[in-house]
Amino acid sequence: MTAKALRQPASLRIVSGAFLAFWCLIAAFPIAWIAVMSFKSPVDAFDSNPLNVIFGPATRADGSGWSILEIGLGLAVIWVTARLTVRRAPPLVASYSPGGYVALGWIVAAVLIGLGFVLVFFGLLPLVTDLLNPILGPLGRDIIGATTEHYQTVWIERGFIDNFRNSLIVTTGVVTISLTVGTLAGYGLARSGSTLAFWILIIALIFRSLPHSVLVAGYLPVFINSAEWLAPILGENAPTLYGKPAAVIAVLVAINQPFTIWMLRSFFANIPADLDEAARVDGCSHFKAFRLVIMPVMWPGVITTGLFSFLLAYNDFLVTSLLLDASNQTMVPAIAGMFNRETTTTDQVVAVAAAVSITAPLFLLVMVFQRQIVSGLTAGAVKG
């Protein structure tokens, strides 16, 4: 029972609730709207009547759309998948993964769930609905016009799948390197009381404050001439780094590393040094204490920091567009290439579909790690 004094007056609750709902609507609207647009034929997508955009009569007239049955079954599959992931997966992972390899168990589980979902949603579901739609009458008739042709255009004809792969390479590289260096450096700097550590942090801050284009300008000649200066080490096969993902990874890590070091350092500083010392007296070497005692406590911090460096690498436009050649382009600069003066409405809807494709993984990522991110952002520390 809440004390009367602590309860908010009804008017305040209504106003704050209404404001929150209004704000959510405004915040979510652009994303939701382009998501709807991306499934429509160009005529519907740019219709002046918003209801036509939502229900897509022209798209339906073209013969593609979703029936009530399809929508229902689709939502059900999504719901069951989410439910399985949240409820059933944790105990299964815990009981099947060998001690100390729970993270590995989760990776396997994620791959299995993803594969299963794709198989059922894109393989089994169309077969079932094709069979049932003619039998069920009104339930089986298309009510919302929707087409996935733009996604097919983007991913297959325009080669967005290559851009996706490149984005994956760049972000994986950036996140792995900046987290590895960042945790080790952050831990060292947090535990060291020397003035050198302080100055290293200040220098890192200065690097962070440089405009990104300055860094790119500095790296450019080095990458273009890399075949020359790498030759003494790698011999004949020395690569030209310009245009390769490795070059972008190097620059993005350089941009991002000061931030990850600072952030991880403050997480480590919040973990009492007594913990490492207790572990060392209990029988760990310094590194083993870091691995067995400090890292398990640090996961929220590592995940939060990892998310930030992922976002930086994933969303970067300047560095990727300057340093990558066409065959290695990531998703964000690829979208920019989809617009030009001759852009047709079809091209625009295709670009919108590409934009939705870029956003979807971000949603998924934040959903999966939301608990860790929240505790990483708010608490910042684990109390012993």
Contacting residues toward another protein, per CB under 8 A: 272, 274-275, 277-286, 288, 292-293, 296-297, 382-384
For residues 80-101, one letter each, b for 16 or more C-beta atoms within 10 angstroms of the residue's C-beta and e for the rest, the string is: ebeeebeeebeeebeeebeeee
**Nearer residue to another protein within complex by CB, 235 or 296:** 296
**Nearer residue to another protein within complex by CB, 227 or 275:** 275
* Distance, CA of 52 to CA of 40 (rounded, Å): 10
**Nearer residue to another protein within complex by CB, 31 or 382:** 382
Alpha helical stretches, state H, 84-159: 89-96, 102-118, 125-132, 149-152
Supply 130's token pair. 């094709």
In the complex, least distance from residue 307 CB atom to another protein, rounded to whole angstroms: 21
* Distance, CA of 146 to CA of 359 (rounded, Å): 19
**Nearer residue to another protein within complex by CB, 105 or 272:** 272
Count of CB atoms situated within 10 Å of the CB of 289: 20
Supply 144's token pair. 């919302």
**Nearer residue to another protein within complex by CB, 294 or 331:** 294
Q: Using DSSP, state whether 325 is helix, strand or coil.
A: coil
In the complex, least distance from residue 253 CB atom to another protein, rounded to whole angstroms: 29
In the complex, least distance from residue 292 CB atom to another protein, rounded to whole angstroms: 7
Supply 18's token pair. 């209404």
**What separation in angstroms does the CA of 11 have from each of 5, 21, 83?**
15, 15, 36
Q: Which of 187, 182, 183, 184 is nearest to 208 (CA)?
A: 182
| Residues comprising the chain, all counted | 384
In the complex, least distance from residue 298 CB atom to another protein, rounded to whole angstroms: 10
**Nearer residue to another protein within complex by CB, 130 or 277:** 277
In the complex, least distance from residue 184 CB atom to another protein, rounded to whole angstroms: 19
* Distance, CA of 335 to CA of 191 (rounded, Å): 44
**What separation in angstroms does the CA of 370 have from each of 31, 53, 353?**
19, 32, 26
* Distance, CA of 22 to CA of 28 (rounded, Å): 10
58 contacts 144 by C-beta, under 8 angstroms: no
In the complex, least distance from residue 100 CB atom to another protein, rounded to whole angstroms: 11
In the complex, least distance from residue 181 CB atom to another protein, rounded to whole angstroms: 24
In the complex, least distance from residue 380 CB atom to another protein, rounded to whole angstroms: 14
In the complex, least distance from residue 281 CB atom to another protein, rounded to whole angstroms: 5
**Nearer residue to another protein within complex by CB, 341 or 383:** 383
**Nearer residue to another protein within complex by CB, 293 or 351:** 293
**Nearer residue to another protein within complex by CB, 138 or 283:** 283
Q: Which of 69, 249, 212 is nearest to 143 (CA)?
A: 69
**Nearer residue to another protein within complex by CB, 227 or 382:** 382
Count of CB atoms situated within 10 Å of the CB of 139: 14
In the complex, least distance from residue 299 CB atom to another protein, rounded to whole angstroms: 9
40 contacts 147 by C-beta, under 8 angstroms: yes
